[in-house]
Amino acid sequence: MTGHIFGLGIGLAALGVGIGLGMIGNGAMQGMSRQPEAIGKIQVAMLIALAFVELVFLLTVFIVPGSLKI
């Protein structure tokens, strides 16, 4: 049972992180298309933001199993 809950939790985390990554990509692309000369800076900021959002998922993956005592 806990395994199922774990899977569901991971799926939910992936859902949220996917939405977050998509929003970051959306914003970055809009910014890039509005200001093509600032693509370099936007890309760097976008990558940093992506890294932080991604970290949330990784934390979920590595912390949740321990707290659920699987």
Partner 1 sequence: MSNAKQSSGPPAIVGIIVGAVLMFGGFWFSKNVKLEFIKTLEAQGIPLDPGKTISIIGVLLILFPVIKFFFIAPLAEAIQNRTTELERTFGEAENLRAEMTQMKQDYERRLVQTEADAREQIQGQIKEAQSLRQQMMAEAGVKAEELKASAAREIEAQKQQAIAELRHYVVELALQATEKLVEANVDEERNRKLVADFLETVEAPR
Partner 2 sequence: MGDWITQSSQLIASVEEPHGAESHGGDHGDGHAWVSWEGLLVYVAIVVGTLFVLMAQAKKGLNNRFFTNKLTQLFEQVYLFIENMCVGTIGAHGRRYVPMIMTMWMLVFSGNLLALFFPTSPTADLSFNLGLALVSVAYVQYEGIRANGLFGHLGHFAGPKLGGFLALLISPIIFVIEIVSELMKNVSLSLRLFGNIDGGHRAAEAMNTLGAGIYVPFGAFLLPIKLLTVVVQAMIFCLLTAVYLSLVTHHDDDHGHGHEAEAGHAEVAPAH
Judged by CB under 8 A, the residue of 16, 27, 31, 65 near partner 1 is: 65
Structural contact between residues 31 and 38, judged by C-beta atoms closer than 8 angstroms: yes
Q: Return the residues of window 38-67 that contact partner 2 according to CB under 8 A.
A: 40-41, 44, 47-48, 51-52, 54-55, 57-59, 61-62, 65
List interacting residues with partner 2 (CB under 8 A): 40-41, 44, 47-48, 51-52, 54-55, 57-59, 61-62, 65, 70
